Structure 1
Amino acid sequence: MKILFDLLDRVAERRVRALAQRTSRRSALVRVGRVLVAGAFALPVLPFDRTQQAHAAGGAGGGGGRKRQPGEYDCDYWRYCSVDGFLCSCCGGSATSCPPGTEISKVSWLGTCLNPTDGKNYLVNYYDCCGRVSCGRCFCNTNVGDRPGYRLGVNNDINWCMASDSSVYHCTLSVIVGEA
């Protein structure tokens, strides 16, 4: 057994010495630097993409005993035309207010939704409620008017809690801002 280890040791030593003769310290540092820089761009740190987490949780209804508003738990409701997340109305809040123990995100995304009742388009701000783990109920991913990630203000696949005190996502609000 000792003979095998000695052989492996000699082979490894020869290879390391040959590599050291062909490579300078500077080129080795350059390569390590390139790997670190590429790794920094390859690993998304902020903003967090929560698409997979939301898809894994599915979407069942729920209301917490409040009186249900028309369409409040339905992803097809017109004001949810660009929502991507769990509806706060199913998580102890409402379409316009965060559940207790969460806070509204400091940033949001904007959508333009058509109200079929009056035929008008409305601007709808979508805010994430932050501070507790994901609700896991009433997941909607409608994506009307969603844009690629390089246009962050109109992209809904981002954890908008990143600017808040807690970056933990809970649910999403849809606040009608006015007529478009």
Structure 2
Amino acid sequence: MKLLDLLFERSSRKVANVTSRRKALARFGSWLAVGTAAPLLLPIDRVSRAHAAEDTGKPGDPGDPNSCDYWRYCSIDGFLCSCCGGSVTACPPGAEVSQVTWIGTCRNPADGKDYIISYNDCCGKHSCSQCACTRNDSEEPLYRPFNNNDVNWCLGAKSKSYNCTIAIIRGVAL
């Protein structure tokens, strides 16, 4: 056993003499970066695009729900549920809708009317991280929270973890 201890002591001293802590940290950092980037190379499930196709093609609702330029998303800040397995108006399976929301007023290009849109965060699953959109067309300062999209609205749900955001038409703005 003493011989094994002596062997490890000499080899670790030799490594310590020729290696710096900075180099070891740099190597560890590069391994960490490669390890976290590797999952991005895995295949992606494209089922959400099939769900989003159900919302397109309706008369009076023009645009692509998977695009940040979709008319309902004029005040959105977050990931689109239509890219995350849900739709424009429904959370993905396993996520719940937060009952507290922020609102915005968006103009529908098909009929030229302004609509009140309720942006509900879907909570309870890890962050979707797909189709990130930040639009602030009718955002108000933080002291007017119901018109501000920078608040974590999952604080009103059972689970505080944010997944994505849906856009529900609440009515015509007068």
Return closer, same or farther for 1:163/1:79 CA change in 2, 3 Å cut-off.
same
User: Structure 2 residue aligned with 1:83, among 76, 81, 86?
Assistant: 76
Percent of aligned positions that are identical: 53
TM-superposed deviation, 1:154: 0.3
**What letter corresponds to residue 51 of structure 2 in structure 1?**
R
Q: Deviations over 1:12-70 (max 9, x none)?
A: xxxxxxxxxxxxxxxxxxxxxxxxxxxxxxxxxxxxxxxxxxxxxxxxxx525335224
User: Structure 2 residue aligned with 1:66, among 46, 51, 68?
Assistant: 51
4+ runs of 1 displaced by more than 6 Å? none
Q: Which residue of 2 aligns with 1:178?
A: 171
CA distance in structure 2 between the aligned counterparts of 1:87 and 1:119, rounded to whole angstroms? 24
CA distance in structure 2 between the aligned counterparts of 1:67 and 1:112, rounded to whole angstroms? 22
CA distance in structure 1 between the aligned counterparts of 2:94 and 2:51, rounded to whole angstroms? 17
CA distance in structure 2 between the aligned counterparts of 1:95 and 1:107, rounded to whole angstroms? 17
Contact 2:121 2:165 in 1 (8 A): yes
Question: Could you say which structure has the greater relative contact order, defined with CA pairs below 8 angstroms and 6 or more residues apart?
Answer: 1
How many residue pairs were aligned? 119
Say which SS state the counterpart of residue 132 (structure 1) adopts: coil
CA distance in structure 1 between the aligned counterparts of 2:77 and 2:169, rounded to whole angstroms? 16
CA distance in structure 1 between the aligned counterparts of 2:52 and 2:156, rounded to whole angstroms? 32
Q: Which residue of 1 aligns with 2:122?
A: 129
TM-superposed deviation, 1:106: 1.3
Unaligned runs of 5+ in 2: 1-45, 57-62
CA distance in structure 1 between the aligned counterparts of 2:67 and 2:49, rounded to whole angstroms? 15
**What letter corresponds to residue 112 of structure 1 in structure 2?**
T
